[in-house]
Amino acid sequence: MIKKILQFSKIIKTGDWFIIILFCALIIISTKFLWNLPQGEYLQIYKNNEILATYSLNQKVTKIINGEKGETKIIIDNGKVRFTSAPCTKKYCIHQGWINKANQIIICIPNKISISIFGGEKNYDSINY
């Protein structure tokens, strides 16, 4: 086993290592950024391009929205939000599951309903009041 690894390391040259490490670093750095997106504070619900409602994410509540084809059910659960039922056929919006970070969006095209999260992009660590 160790022999095989040694053989493998002989095949790849310094340039190969360079590329391997570069890509590993790229993966790590992008994970770091994407993992630390700020938690959102508010939810906006759109029908076509019109804002239907804005809710705080800090609550536990179920909302029923009337879209083009019928009722869409959305659950807000203390900081996160998801679709639980929709009159579309493919149910992509439900399969997206929970979202909780600022600028995340779920769109249900058949029913023309979309939700997006905003807020939380603060440029300070604490508030003095």
Partner 1 sequence: MRLNRPLVYLLISLLIGCNDNQVHHGKDFIFGTLIDIKIYGESKIDAEKVSNEIFTEFHHLHNLLHPWEKSLITDINNAISENKSIPIDNDEVITILSNVQRLETQTQNLFNPSIGKLIRLWGFHSNDYNQKKIPNQKKIQNLVSTNPSMQSIKIENGILKSNNKNVQIDLGGYAKGYALDQAKKILKNNNVKNALINIGGNILALGKYGERDWVVGIQNPRKPNVLATIALKPGWAIGTSGDYQRYIMVNNKRYSHLINPKTGYPENKTQSATVLLPPSEDSGALSDVFSKPLFIIDKKNKANMAKLLNIKYFLIIMEDNSILISESLNKEINWEDDIDKKNITIF
Q: Which is nearer to partner 1, 56 or 66 (CB)?
A: 56
| 19 is a site residue for partner 1 (CB under 8 A) | no
| 2 is a site residue for partner 1 (CB under 8 A) | no
| 33 is a site residue for partner 1 (CB under 8 A) | no
Full DSSP string of 34-101 = HHTPPBP-EEEEEETTEEEEEEESSSEEEEEEE-SSSEEEEEEETTEEEEEE-S-SS-HHHHT--B-B
State the nearest-atom distance from the C-beta of 127 to partner 1, in Å.
Answer: 5
| 11 is a site residue for partner 1 (CB under 8 A) | no
| 34 is a site residue for partner 1 (CB under 8 A) | no
- Chain residues 76-115 in contact with partner 1, contact rule CB under 8 A: none
| 127 is a site residue for partner 1 (CB under 8 A) | yes
CA pair distance 84, 20, nearest whole angstrom:
42
Q: Which two tokens stand for residue 96?
A: 């997206």
CA pair distance 57, 35, nearest whole angstrom:
19
**List 2, 30, 32, 110, residue binding partner 1 (CB under 8 A):** 32
| 64 is a site residue for partner 1 (CB under 8 A) | no
**Helices marked H in 36-113 — which ranges?**
92-95
**List 24, 53, 61, 109, residue binding partner 1 (CB under 8 A):** 24
